[in-house]
Amino acid sequence: MQSLVWEAPRVMVMREQERPVPQPGEALVRVAYVGICGSELSGYLGHNALRVPPLVMGHEFAGQVVALGAEAANKHPELAVGQLVTANPLTYCGICLWCRQGLNQLCATRKLIGAHRPGAYAQYVTAPVEVVTALPAGLSPRIGALTEPVAVAVRIGELAGNVQGEAVLIIGAGPIGLLALQVLRALGAGPVFIADLEAARLEMGAALGGQPLNPRTDNVVAVVRAATGGLGVPVALDAVGAAVTRANCVSATRSGGMVILSGLHEETSAMPAAEIIRREIVVRGSFAYTPANFAAALTQLAAGAIRLDPWIIEAPLADGGHWFDRLIEAPGAVAKVLLVP
């Protein structure tokens, strides 16, 4: 089969590889669509310790089951060859403290398809059957491939809590920011301010109901505080992950409010700790999603309640390296790139 292999920082090469054979308890999926994630962009640049070359990345995918390993039918009797599916790319032990609470994404032994094992930047990928889910009737693999990033946004909405009638700030109008915008608005938040340096991304945010702010021309913190009577927002989301965006979220959040950190651009950065302490601001991370969040994301996509169209680009898998570079340098009006093997 053909695979797109990350071989070194900023080096992606198409290679001929052996088609994988599903091991006991695994499904073999013919990949129809696979997305490019922001975490993979940092990996491509060599900035992500989770990913080590040579590696076939790709964890946002959908396709068709073409084979099942031994014991797969016993573990997942509803799954069958020929079904259109997506997969939660996080595998976990299922028995630890966090797994027993449904917080499987915090499992100390979790593994990620596309990092710890070969991913979906290939014609075929294997996955344990317990994380493979059939697509609802009528849902295309093109939209099903968005389930993973939508699940990230669902988790953010869950952590945000009751935002009914409240102003919210999102910094970062990439895919996660745009999806979180929709989730938070569906939860009743408003206005939802969304800040980004890219004018094209702000236009997408505005089209989805956000109030766009460009830090090049707008004082984000001042605008948000003015709109909230000087208080600040009860919830701010950093979907970038830089020192300045994290600090701006703290400054824009009201005393006793919450800053949610989702962006991973910088693995470490300074934080205004004294301000956080003196104003009793809660800072919490939002990592991935629970299995329940993943299921909810699939339901929302099937209902047409969340979207990234008309800003989805489809491209051949062989053009993946070009699109990695494009998304890093100048993404423009692109919310998601889906590669087609």
CATH 3.40.50.720 residue window(s) in the chain? 152-285
How many C-beta neighbours within 10 Å does residue 290 have?
21
Assess whether pLDDT exceeds 90 at residue 265.
no
Assess whether pLDDT exceeds 80 at residue 34.
yes
CATH 3.90.180.10 residue window(s) in the chain? 2-146+308-340
Asked whether the beta carbons of 320 and 169 are under 8 A apart, the reply is no
Helix (H) / strand (E) element for 34: namely strand 26-35
Cα separation, 161 vs 169, whole angstroms: 14
Q: pLDDT grade, residue 49 (50/70/90)? A: confident
C-alpha of 45 from chain center:
18
Claim: this prediction has a pTM higher than 0.85: yes
Contacts (Cβ under 8 Å, ≥6 apart) of 276: 250, 283
Per-residue pLDDT tens over the stretch 287-333 = 999 999 999 999 999 999 999 999 999 999 999 999 999 999 988 99
Average pLDDT, the chain: 96
Q: What is the mean pLDDT of residues 122-133?
A: 97
Residue 37: what pLDDT?
A: 94
Q: What is the largest CA-CA distance in the chain?
A: 62
Q: pLDDT grade, residue 184 (50/70/90)? A: very high
Q: E strands within 88-180?
A: 90-91, 111-112, 124-128, 132-134, 168-171
Which of 90-94, 248-252, 266-270 shows the highest mean pLDDT?
248-252
Residue 322: what pLDDT?
A: 95
Residue 141: what pLDDT?
A: 98
Assess whether pLDDT exceeds 80 at residue 172.
yes
Assess whether pLDDT exceeds 80 at residue 253.
yes
Asked whether the beta carbons of 213 and 232 are under 8 A apart, the reply is no
Q: Which residue has the tokens 């992500």?
A: 48
Tell me the CA distances in angstroms from 206 to 107, 199, 213, one per residue in order.
37, 10, 10
Per-residue pLDDT tens over the stretch 225-241 = 999 999 999 999 999 99
CATH number given to 2-146+308-340: 3.90.180.10
Q: What is the mean pLDDT of residues 50-64?
A: 95
Fold of domain 152-285 = Rossmann fold (3.40.50)
Helix (H) / strand (E) element for 236: namely strand 233-238
Residue 74: what pLDDT?
A: 87
Q: pLDDT grade, residue 268 (50/70/90)? A: confident
Q: pLDDT grade, residue 17 (50/70/90)? A: very high
Q: Which residue has the tokens 């997408």?
A: 204
Per-residue pLDDT tens over the stretch 86-116 = 999 999 999 999 999 999 999 999 999 999 9
